[in-house]
């Protein structure tokens, strides 16, 4: 059974937990690692169970806890090429366990398939994500939309 839980959603920080089967992920890590851990604990999730953090874009309210959480829990960060470039240039990927650019095929986590789609925002290649479970159920997450596009 899948679990979807917004942990934080504001201009001070954003993060969403999605779990399905043996796999779990975060979309964005916009609060401190400690705050993320506490929020996960509050919904009965061990922070060490997170396998990946999918980043929507490079603004601080989406990546604030990325470095520390990734390193502490050995979690890879996945993002678009434009976001990867922006974060690399800013030094925001230093100490991140592993940083990966998402491909058009998406990322297969076993129990979930995650794909990105373009969104409109004042950042370098922002995106939203669809998460499809093995049973065919699907959820889409889009944050900080500038405009509602046909893709969204």
Tell me the pLDDT of the chain (152 aa) as tens digits.
678 999 999 889 999 999 977 789 999 999 999 999 999 999 999 999 999 999 999 999 999 999 999 999 999 999 999 999 999 999 999 989 999 999 999 999 988 999 999 898 878 899 999 999 888 899 999 888 877 777 77
Per DSSP, the residues of 82-142 read HHHHHHHHTTTTTT-SEEEEPPTT-EE-SSEEEEEEE---SSSS-EEEEEEETTS-EEEE-
Look at the pTM and tell me if it is higher than 0.85. Answer: yes
- Which helix (H) or strand (E) covers residue 148, if one does? none
């Amino acid at each position: 059974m899948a679990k979807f839980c917004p942990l934080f959603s504001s201009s001070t920080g954003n993060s969403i937990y999605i779990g399905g089967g043996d796999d779990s992920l975060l979309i964005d890590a916009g609060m401190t690692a400690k705050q993320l851990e506490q929020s996960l604990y509050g919904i009965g999730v061990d922070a060490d169970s997170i396998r990946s953090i999918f980043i929507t874009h490079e603004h601080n309210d989406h990546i604030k806890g990325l470095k520390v959480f990734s390193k502490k829990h050995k979690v890879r960060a996945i993002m678009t090429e434009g976001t990867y470039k922006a974060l690399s240039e800013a030094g925001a990927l230093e100490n991140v366990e592993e940083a990966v650019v998402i491909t058009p095929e998406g990322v297969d986590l076993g129990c979930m398939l995650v794909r990105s789609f373009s969104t409109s925002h004042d950042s370098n290649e922002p995106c939203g994500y669809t998460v499809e479970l093995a049973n065919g159920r699907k959820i889409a997450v889009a944050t900080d939309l500038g405009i509602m596009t046909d893709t969204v």
